[in-house]
């Protein structure tokens, strides 16, 4: 690895990560926005926010079913 091969530094905000994960869960995302997300967002942050969103979704559905029944 020479001096020009630096790892790409990602500067994505938490809000942008949450927005990208939310749009991905819904299934609506432009290709250009997807490419920007790949360039900017940290994959670890996406996984963590995705898991939190998944737990919130499942917890909300369980609470809704318990409330209805």
Measure the CA–CA gap between 37 and 8, rounded to whole angstroms. 13
SS3 content of the chain, % helix, strand, coil (to 5): 70, 0, 30
Residue 50 pLDDT greater than 60, yes or no: yes
Residue 36 pLDDT greater than 90, yes or no: no
pTM, full prediction: 0.70
Tokens for 19, please give them.
Answer: 């927005």
23-27, 38-42, 62-66 — which one is most confidently predicted on average? 62-66
The string over 29-63, giving b where at least 16 C-beta atoms fall within 10 Å of a residue's C-beta and e elsewhere, is eeeeeeeebeeebeeebbeebbeeeeeeeeeeeee
Tokens for 17, please give them.
Answer: 């990560």
Kindly state the average pLDDT of the residues 18-28.
84
Whole-number pLDDT of residue 8: 59
């Amino acid at each position: 690895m020479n001096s020009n091969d630096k790892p790409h530094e990602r500067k994505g905000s938490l809000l942008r990560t949450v927005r990208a994960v939310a749009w991905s869960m819904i299934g609506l995302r432009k290709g250009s926005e997807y490419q920007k997300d790949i360039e900017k967002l940290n994959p670890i942050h996406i996984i963590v926010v995705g898991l939190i969103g998944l737990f919130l979704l499942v917890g909300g559905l369980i609470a809704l079913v318990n409330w209805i029944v």
